[in-house]
Structures are given as structure tokens and as C-alpha cells.
């Protein structure tokens, strides 16, 4: 699905919000030899999960946001997302976030990695909070995009490029 269509679909979902869905886009960048990873969340769902994990309200995306919010966010992601590239566990690095009232984007990277042939993704994001949670993962390597649909009972999947 083209990115413009994805953005339009997210706006429609954000308005109605009858679904519990996150999107994870993983792109291999051959020029930088890295993976550029973007997560898209409904802000209210993410805030609920982060607050529960932190044991306190973090005020995500507000002027009252706590200084430790980025750390709490990365800890949350790092505990629930694993990438194995050609059989080797990747180390995720937090880059930043953008928070809007309805949607939050989180940016993560994996540095110093050649184009993988095999990508295994485990994604348990929000599963402990929402029974109907679905995590869509798109992976692009060498111009080829493949996708996974992950949820409770099927939190991992493998792709071969």
C-alpha cells in the first residue's frame, strides 16, 4: 500500500478508533547501512500502556510531559520488539518521537547492518492492554516490501528477501 494511502487510512482510523492497531515500518537504507524503523500508535493507547508500565502518568505529548518519557517509551519498545537479522539479534537505538493528539510516531534505528536476507520480527506492543490488538509490520529490503500481521497467539513472523 502506498504511504499516502496508509496516511489516509490512519486518519480515518484515528477519527473512529474502533480498532487497536499499530504500524511498524522497517526500511533498510543501503547508504547508511542501517535499518530505519518507524512505529505509529494511537496516542491514547500508547499513553495508557506507558503510564501502566511507569506506574505514574507521563503526560505524553503535553507541556507537562515528564523528562523520563523518552526513556520509558524506549524501554517499552525494547521489551516488546525484537529483530533478528540473519539469525543475529539486532540492537535497537532510540532516535525520537513526534506526538500529536491522535497519533504518535516513534523512531528507532539499527546501525551498521548490511541488507539482511532473513528478518524475524517479534512484536508484542500493546498486547497486554488490548485483547483485539493487531500489529502490522512492513519490512523493505532492496526495494522489496513484505508484511506481517501479528497479534496475540502469533507475535512473531519471518520474512526472506
pLDDT digits (tens, 9 = 90+) for 62-119: 999 999 999 999 999 999 999 999 999 999 999 999 999 899 999 999 999 999 999 9
Higher-scoring residue by pLDDT: 65, 18: 65
* HSE-up of residue 92 (Cα within 13 Å, Cβ side): 24
Contact 145, 139 (CB under 8 A): yes
Distance CA 41, CA 59 (A): 15
pLDDT 10s digits, 32-69:
999 999 999 999 999 999 999 888 999 999 999 999 99
Question: Does 4 have pLDDT greater than 80?
Answer: no
Would you place residue 19 in the very low, low, confident or very high pLDDT band (cuts 50, 70, 90)? Answer: confident
> How many CB atoms are closer than 10 A to CB 34?
17
> How many CB atoms are closer than 10 A to CB 106?
24
113: which 3 cell numbers? 547492518
96: which 3 cell numbers? 525520537
Contact 61, 100 (CB under 8 A): yes
Q: Where are the alpha helices (DSSP H) in 27-146?
A: 43-54, 69-80
Distance CA 49, CA 64 (A): 18
* Beta strands in the chain, from DSSP E residues, in sequence order: 21-29, 34-42, 81-85, 88-89, 93-99, 103-110, 118-123, 134-141, 144-151, 156-160
The sign of the CA dihedral 63, 67, 73, 74 is positive
Amino acid at each position: 500500500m502506498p504511504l499516502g494511502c496508509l496516511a489516509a487510512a490512519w486518519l480515518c482510523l484515528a477519527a473512529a478508533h474502533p480498532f487497536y492497531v499499530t504500524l511498524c515500518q522497517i526500511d533498510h537504507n543501503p547508504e547508511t547501512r542501517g535499518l530505519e524503523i518507524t512505529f505509529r500508535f494511537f496516542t491514547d493507547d500508547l499513553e495508557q500502556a506507558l503510564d501502566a508500565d511507569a506506574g505514574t502518568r507521563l503526560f505524553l505529548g503535553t507541556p507537562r510531559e515528564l523528562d523520563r518519557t523518552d526513556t520509558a517509551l524506549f524501554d517499552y519498545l525494547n521489551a516488546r520488539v525484537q529483530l533478528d537479522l540473519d539469525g543475529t539479534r539486532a540492537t535497537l537505538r532510540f532516535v525520537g518521537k513526534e506526538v500529536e493528539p491522535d497519533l504518535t510516531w516513534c523512531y528507532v534505528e539499527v546501525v551498521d547492518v548490511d541488507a539482511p536476507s532473513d528478518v524475524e520480527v517479534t512484536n508484542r506492543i500493546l498486547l497486554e492492554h488490548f485483547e483485539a490488538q493487531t500489529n502490522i509490520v512492513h519490512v523493505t529490503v532492496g526495494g522489496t516490501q513484505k508484511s506481517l500481521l501479528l497479534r496475540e497467539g502469533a507475535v512473531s513472523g519471518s520474512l526472506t528477501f
